[in-house]
């Protein structure tokens, strides 16, 4: 019996037809099926375009219990054999109830509406399916990605020795930066030590510390855990009233590390915190890193849009960083995923270089063949750089900067609106496009009641589908959050959402049980 064919005694898995109604190879994109591909994709784009054009609110308000049975009822072992039928089904399980970031009353997370040139790039890169790990899989794609890394590094001001790699997002970029900082700290600490490697690392790793603002992204602590250091290796530096890292507190912590024999492996400055959009004082942080020999990383996942903005001066000091995280899929209006980590000194990327004989043998590096896997945590990697490339070639960097400036301007106007509205309190005046605030029950100053009211208002608003806002905590209390990344969001849209929040809050207050009066 052939080892390649199933035996008669081994039936096909239940529910799976042994033969499709058409040749399976007809579904592969080849020169023979190019027209079928064009027709199928055109139909899908037409459906999506029609759905977006008809969308009049950011969400339908569907619940998990309401949608889960529809998805569960789909028989994945019985294909429809028809693109139109599959798209009809997709309308029911996804498109109808998707959360639409393009809508001007989507004000929640760092999700942006995307520019059309990037979607053109998405269509091209998905069809060709290049993998950006080695030259022999990507060719021109490798050079395009490298050119965009150089362009970004130049915008930052990292210098001629800079390099970097596209990643899946800010969390991966931060992880790679912390890995490089860890291995550089170990290299410096262990220089000239003749002890066995494992013993030396066992001594050094517990002494490493990462210093970052208390308002920084959770991925820094997660990175410390993934790198074997533990979350306790991260020192949270207090922030000031504007939610910026206090450099006096940073100086104190660095001095304490030195006194206690700890190694300040890295200081992470945030250029655009997730909750507040605050920018840490990078020039002062750079001075302290230089004094204590610490790697300076700037997490500019959110604030990277300033690189093409008229507000570029807000990033002063970023050019002194050893590594920088940028998320083009936030303030460059690119589809997910589109991110990068950049380094001042390309030689530090050797800490993620591994050679495999089947993929990137050492002889290829010696022959100066550019394999991107040599500097990436990933092996197989999408050609996400193409989206930014086409965006720059069609729109230009200045047009992207105008979009980001527009949402920053809108946030400034919204802050004034909130500040003057007695129904709300707002935490800090924004530097970017994020506003943290909460509804204040005027009849009762009880902070627990304020928490309940704001939690209810957010949930009720989401359930209505009329708008989507985010939430966070400040000093242990529940607040609401606007993250503005849609230039089409108007001040009238924001005022409408504030009225809706107040309406839901008022309903909660009116309907809550009143405490019983005690008898005399």
Query: Tens digits of per-residue pLDDT, 180-238?
Result: 999 999 999 888 554 445 557 778 999 999 999 999 999 999 999 999 999 999 999 99
Encode pLDDT of 326-380 as tens digits: 999 999 999 999 999 999 999 999 999 999 988 989 998 888 899 999 999 999 9
**How much is the pLDDT for 519?**
47
Residues 160 and 237 in one domain: yes
Give me the pLDDT at residue 468, please. Answer: 98
Query: What percentage of the chain exceeds 70 in pLDDT?
Result: 92
- Sheet containing strand 234-237, edge to edge, reads 163-167, 339-343, 323-327, 295-300, 263-270, 208-213, 234-237
Q: How buried is 160 (Cβ within 10 angstroms: 0-12 exposed, 13-18 middle, 19+ buried)? A: exposed
What pLDDT does residue 11 have? 41
Distance CA 201, CA 183 (A): 10
The 10s digit of each residue's pLDDT in 239-258 is: 999 999 999 999 999 999 99
Residues β-bridged to residue 341: 165, 325
Looking at the domain assignment, is residue 103 inside a domain?
Answer: no
Tally of CB atoms within 10 A around 71: 10
CATH number at residue 447: 3.90.1150.10
Res 16 pLDDT > 50: no
The domain boundary, picked from 394, 410, 437, lies at 394
Does one domain contain both 365 and 277?
Answer: yes
Residues 330 and 408 in one domain: no
pLDDT of residue 191: 81
Query: Is 244 in the same domain as 368?
Result: yes
pLDDT value of residue 443: 67
* Residues 314, 305 contacting (CB under 8 angstroms): no
Clarify whether residues 353 and 205 are in a common domain: yes
Mean pLDDT of 305-310: 98
The SS3 assignment for 343 reads strand
Residues 364 and 468 in one domain: no
Q: How far is CA 444 from CA 378, 508, 509, in A?
A: 54, 13, 10
Q: What is the mean pLDDT of the chain?
A: 92
Cβ-Cβ contacts under 8 Å for 462 (sequence gap 6 or more):
59, 61, 468, 469
Tell me, yes or no, whether 4 lies in a domain: no
- Residue that terminates a domain, selected from 364, 394, 424: 394
Q: Both 404 and 279 in a single domain?
A: no
166 forms beta bridges with 340
In a domain, 187, yes or no: yes
| 55-59, 260-264, 515-519, range with the lowest pLDDT | 515-519
- The CA angle 97-103-109, to the nearest 5 degrees, is 85
Residue 354 domain-assigned (yes or no)? yes
Does residue 431 surpass a pLDDT of 80? yes
* Averaged pLDDT for residues 262-288: 97
Q: Does residue 481 sit within a domain?
A: yes
Q: From 394, 419, 449, give the residue that closes a domain.
A: 394
| 76-94 pLDDT per residue, tens | 999 999 999 999 999 999 9
Query: Residue 359 is part of a domain; what is its CATH number?
Result: 3.40.640.10
In a domain, 7, yes or no: no
Tokens, residue 109: 């997370």
Alpha helices in 191-321 (DSSP H): 197-204, 219-226, 247-259, 282-292
Q: Is residue 318 part of a domain?
A: yes
Tell me which residue range forms the domain holding 461. Answer: 398-511
pLDDT of residue 422: 95
pLDDT at 357: 87
371 and 224 fall within a common domain: yes
pLDDT at residue 190, rounded to an integer: 87
State how far the alpha carbon of 263 is from the alpha carbons of 4, 182, 299, 331, in Å: 58, 10, 21, 34
- 301 and 324 co-located in one domain: yes
DSSP string, 302-330: TGGGGGGSTTGGGGTTGGG-SEEEEEHHH
- Give the whole-angstrom CA distance, residue 48 versus residue 96: 10
Q: Does residue 381 sit in the same domain as residue 457?
A: no
* DSSP sequence for 357-387: TTT--HHHHHTT---GGGG-S-SS---THHH
DSSP letter at 235 equals E
**Using 50, 70 and 90 to split pLDDT, how confident is the model at 22?**
low
Q: Average pLDDT of 472-477?
A: 96
Considering the domain architecture, whether residues 377 and 407 belong to the same structural domain is answered as no
Phi, psi of 422 (to 5 degrees): -65, -10
Same domain for 314 and 443, yes or no, is no
Q: Give mean pLDDT, residues 279-298.
A: 98
Q: Quote the number of domains for the chain.
A: 2
CA distance linking residue 364 with residue 336, whole number of Å: 32
């Amino acid at each position: 019996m052939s080892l390649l064919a199933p035996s008669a005694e081994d039936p096909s898995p239940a529910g799976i037809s042994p033969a499709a109604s058409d040749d399976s190879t007809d579904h592969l994109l080849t020169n023979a099926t190019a027209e079928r591909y064009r027709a199928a994709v055109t139909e899908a784009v037409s459906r999506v375009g029609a759905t977006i054009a008809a969308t009049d609110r950011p969400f339908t308000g569907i619940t998990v219990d309401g949608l889960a049975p529809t998805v569960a009822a789909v028989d994945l072992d019985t294909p429809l054999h028809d693109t139109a039928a599959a798209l009809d089904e997709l309308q029911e399980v996804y498109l109808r109830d998707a959360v639409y970031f393009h809508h001007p009353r989507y004000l929640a997370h760092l999700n942006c509406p995307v520019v059309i040139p990037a979607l053109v790039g998405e269509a091209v890169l998905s069809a060709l399916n290049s993998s950006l790990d080695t030259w022999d899989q990507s060719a021109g794609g490798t050079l395009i990605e490298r050119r965009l890394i150089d362009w970004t590094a130049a915008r930052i001001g990292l210098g001629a020795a800079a390099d970097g790699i596209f990643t899946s997002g800010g969390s991966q970029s931060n992880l790679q930066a912390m890995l490089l900082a860890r291995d550089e700290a170990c290299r410096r600490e262990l220089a000239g030590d003749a002890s066995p490697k494992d013993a030396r690392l066992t001594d050094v790793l517990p002494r490493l510390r990462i210093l970052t603002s208390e308002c920084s992204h959770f991925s820094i602590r997660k990175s410390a855990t993934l790198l074997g250091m533990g979350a306790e290796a991260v020192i949270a530096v207090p922030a000031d009233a504007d939610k910026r890292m206090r450099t006096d507190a940073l100086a104190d912590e660095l001095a304490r590390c030195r006194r206690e024999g700890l190694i300040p492996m890295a200081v992470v400055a945030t250029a655009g915190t997730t909750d507040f959009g605050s920018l840490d004082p990078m020039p002062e942080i750079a001075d302290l890193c230089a004094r204590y020999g610490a790697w300076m990383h700037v997490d500019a996942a959110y604030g990277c849009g300033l690189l093409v903005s008229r507000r570029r001066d807000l990033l002063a000091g970023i050019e002194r960083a050893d590594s920088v995280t940028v998320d083009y899929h936030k303030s460059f209006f690119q589809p997910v995923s589109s991110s990068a980590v950049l380094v001042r000194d390309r030689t530090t990327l050797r800490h993620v270089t591994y050679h495999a004989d089947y993929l990137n043998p050492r002889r290829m590096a010696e022959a100066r063949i550019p394999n991107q896997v040599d500097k990436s945590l990933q092996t197989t990697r999408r050609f996400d750089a193409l989206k930014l490339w086409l965006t720059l070639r069609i729109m230009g960097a200045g047009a992207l900067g105008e979009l980001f400036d527009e949402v920053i301007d809108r946030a400034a106007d919204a802050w004034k609106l909130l500040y003057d509205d007695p129904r709300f309190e707002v935490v800090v005046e924004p530097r970017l496009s994020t506003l943290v605030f909460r509804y204040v029950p005027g009849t009762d100053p009880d902070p627990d009641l304020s928490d309940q009211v704001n939690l209810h208002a957010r949930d009720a608003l989401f359930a209505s589908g009329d708008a989507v806002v985010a939430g966070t905590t400040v000093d242990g209390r529940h607040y609401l959050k606007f993250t503005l990344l849609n230039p089409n969001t108007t001040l009238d849209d924001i005022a409408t959402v504030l009225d809706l929040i107040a309406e839901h809050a008022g309903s909660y207050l009116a309907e809550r049980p009143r405490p019983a009066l005690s008898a005399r």
